[in-house]
Amino acid sequence: MSRPDRPPDMRNIKLTIAYDGTDFHGWQRQPGLRTVQSVLDEAIGRLTGAAPNTNASGRTDAGVHAIGQVVHFLTASRHPPEVFVRALNATLPRDVRVRAAAEVPQAFHATLDARSKRYRYRIDNDQYASPFELRHAWHVFHKLDVDAMNRAGAALLGRHDFRSFETDWPNRLSSVRTIFDVEATRHGDIVHIEAEADGFLYNMVRAIAGTLMLVGAGKRPEAWVGEVLRAQDREEAGPNAPARGLFLLRVNYDRAPLVRAPSP
């Protein structure tokens, strides 16, 4: 993706937004479908009087949520950032919120300047599915061994070809990515799987979550995850975890983080 030419009199506005993806057909605008981009663009257009060309840090699929999605757009509007926050939240639907706004240099691009993204996958690990988690977590009743999941996930750290975790390979010119961190943690009956990387392939986080779930449930040995990675074959990995448990947690625009050292 190349950086477009930008008129010198236009301001570049960066938004950090959160949304519940349950009732959306993903981020990207699609004719006749409700998407996050379409409702955000409508709200910005009402405020500024001009249809924006919004760019997000990346597209989220149908049913996927975000806590820290980053968007930028050019505008001739003179509204200060705090007005964008208040005015957009006054007209956006309840399942989308602007958490922050800032004016940034024209050179900033929400997609191209991202150094890493961090996702969280949520698993409801109670014996019976919580009615309060049906929209936001995958119910797995087998008790998950989080320590085993962490030991197995260490095989994914670093720079590798992740085609075993990519749906419908190839989707990109390269399936090589760098994972800086993979971590599973338990919070009562909820298990979080978080992954941070310089980029993610189609359904990559959901495939990692489904693979680590099998290890945590005792259905696969810990060493199996490394074997899946080396196989470079999607059929060897676990299932794609359902979209409803996936959250885009944050996008990092500073220097790339260091790869976390595996626990001993």
Residue 172 has pLDDT above 80, yes or no: no
Nearest alpha-carbon partner for 73 in 94, 56, 86, 59? 56
- Residue 260: the pLDDT is 82
The share of the chain scoring above pLDDT 70, in percent, equals 96
Residue 264 has pLDDT above 80, yes or no: no
Active-site residue flag, 61: yes
The share of the chain scoring above pLDDT 90, in percent, equals 90
Tokens 């706004």 belong to residue:
101
Read off the pLDDT of residues 119-131 as tens digits, 9 standing for 90 and up. 999 999 999 999 9
Q: How confident is the model at residue 262 (pLDDT cuts 50, 70, 90)?
A: confident
Query: 207, exposed or middle or buried, with CB in 10 Å at 0-12, 13-18, 19+?
Result: buried
- Residue 110: the pLDDT is 97
Domains, the chain, ranges and CATH?
11-104 (3.30.70.580), 116-252 (3.30.70.660)
Instruction: Note whether 175 and 246 are within 8 A (CB).
Output: no
Active-site position among 9, 41, 61, 95:
61
Residue 118 has pLDDT above 90, yes or no: yes
Residue 6 has pLDDT above 80, yes or no: no
Residue 1 has pLDDT above 70, yes or no: no
Tokens 């599915």 belong to residue:
129
For the chain, what is the mean pLDDT?
95
Nearest alpha-carbon partner for 257 in 151, 182, 145? 182
Residue 184 has pLDDT above 80, yes or no: yes
The H or E element containing residue 11 is: strand 11-19
Average pLDDT over every residue of 191-196? 98
Average pLDDT over every residue of 133-146? 97
In terms of pLDDT, which residue wins out, 47 or 6?
Answer: 47
Read off the pLDDT of residues 37-79 as tens digits, 9 standing for 90 and up. 999 999 999 999 999 999 999 999 999 999 999 999 999 999 9
Residue 4 has pLDDT above 70, yes or no: no
- Residue 136: the pLDDT is 98
Residue 171 has pLDDT above 90, yes or no: no
Instruction: Note whether 225 and 160 are within 8 A (CB).
Output: no
